[in-house]
Structure 1
Amino acid sequence: MSDKFVRAQSTTSSTLQLPANGAQEGRRKRTGLFRSLFQTLVPSQTEGRKSPWPLIATIVIWVGLAYAGYAFAVHTLDKQQQYVNERFEQVQEENQKQMIALGEQLTQVQDEMKTVQDGLSNLEEDLQLTGETIGGTNKTKEALQDRIDQLNKQLVDLKASLKKLEDAARAW
């Protein structure tokens, strides 16, 4: 045979044989994610010159997304601040109304206490003036004592109410 022809081996096996050195030369070598991104953004000198527009478009999109996120956050925070301010003003108005109502109740209770005290002092004066004339009538003394006890009880209740109103006014 001549040197121009190469002998071919024929096998009965249905699989292909690997090269003799055992290396997989036809397979592409994988690189890491960041390395492949870097190679995409900055091509090596051996590759042909690529257009810069994909890189510019990517940067513009990222800047646009960042700005849109910032604008949305600012808008949301402004709306929340406005709601908080409105609610705060409403609470202040309600508190002011309640303070006015408590003040009115306090003056009413004080007026009632003054009328009760005036009634007690008038009753005591009447008792002193009539004490000598009444003398021995037990029914009149009991009736007067009952009235005094009722007025004293009413005075104690009014003092307790006044104390509660003053405590409530201090709490506000």
Structure 2
Amino acid sequence: MSDKYLNAQSTTSSTLQLPANGGQEGKRKRTGAFRSLFRAMAPSQTEANRSPWPFILTIVVWVGLAYAGYAFAVHTLDKQQQYVNERFEQVQEENQKQMVALGEQLTQVQDEMKTVQDGLSNLEEDLQLTGETIGGTNKTKEALQDRIDQLNKQLVDLKASLKKLEDAARAW
């Protein structure tokens, strides 16, 4: 038997004993990636005859990875910028459509207000012309007063709607 191996002994200890002559001869010592890279860049005196190709290959791989990362980042940013531009144009188109719709609603409300004002002025003229004849009948006065109140209420509602539309148009 060689001395690398221990004979099995019957002991009460639960641990195994290592060989006494150094233990790990023949195994390579593990080093980290940076230490091996450093060793490739600055060879020691005993390694002076090493080929430069591993170092060159390492540099080429790192440069390739860096360029690929840069190209991927540029491509991704271009795609995102294109998407943002498309969304911006869509929002502008939607805003333009809403502005046109608000403009149309504003003109409709203004036309309705003008119609209500014309109706009120006509009613006031009629009241002035028939002032003496209406003065004697209470039912007619009450009916006219109700109609005036309704038209005034409608005028207030239309003014409020017009104000809301103008505020919305200014907001855009």
Same fold (TM over 0.5): yes
Partner of 1:143: 143
Deviation at 1:42? Answer: 2.4
Structure with bigger RCO (C-alpha 8 Å, 6+ apart): 1
TM-fit CA distance, 1:57: 1.0
Q: In 2 relative to 1, CA 19–134 (structure 1 residues): closer, same or farther, beyond 3 Å?
A: closer
- Could you tell me how far apart the structure 1 residues matched to 2:141 and 2:37 are? 109
List alignment gaps of at least 5 residues for structure 2.
Answer: none
Aligned length: 172
Query: Aligned in 2, Cα 1:4/1:56: closer, same or farther, shift over 3 Å?
Result: closer
More off after superposition, 67-76 vs 8-17: 8-17
Task: Give a deviation string over 1:50-75, Cα, whole Å, max 9, x none.
Answer: 11111111111111110000000000
Task: Find the residue that maps to 2:94 and give its secondary structure.
Answer: helix
Write the deviation string for residues 39-96 of structure 1: whole angstroms up to 9, x where unpaired.
Answer: 3332223335111111111111111110000000000000000000000000000001
Q: Write the distance in 2 (CA, Å) between the matches of 1:146 and 1:28.
A: 107
Distance 1:153 1:125, change over 3 A: same
Q: Distance in 1 between matches of 2:113 and 2:7?
A: 130
The residue matched to 1:24 in structure 2 has which SS?
coil
**Closer, same or farther in 2 for the Cα pair 1:20/1:168, shift >3 Å?**
closer
- Residue by residue over 1:99-154, the C-alpha shift from the partner in whole angstroms, topping out at 9 and shown as x without a partner, is 11011101110110000000000000000001122231111111111111111111
> Would the alpha carbon gap of residues 2 and 17 (structure 1) be closer, same or farther in structure 2, given more than 3 Å must change?
closer
Note the residue ranges of structure 1 that are not aligned, 5 or more in a row.
Answer: none
In our comparison, the structure showing a higher alpha carbon Rg is: 1
Using the aligned pairs only, state the percent identity. Answer: 90
TM-score, length-scaled by structure 2: 0.79
Change (3 A) 1:14 1:137: closer
Report the alpha carbon displacement of residue 166 of structure 1 after superposing the two structures with TM: 1.0
Cα distance change on mapping 1:7 and 1:131 into 2, 3 Å: closer
Deviation at 1:26, TM superposition (A): 10
State the Cα RMSD in Å: 6.5
Distance change (3 Å), C-alpha of 1:112 and 1:25: closer
**Structure 1 counterpart SS, 2:22:** coil
Cα pair distance change 1:128/1:14, threshold 3 Å: closer
CA contact (8 A) 2:40 2:54 kept: no
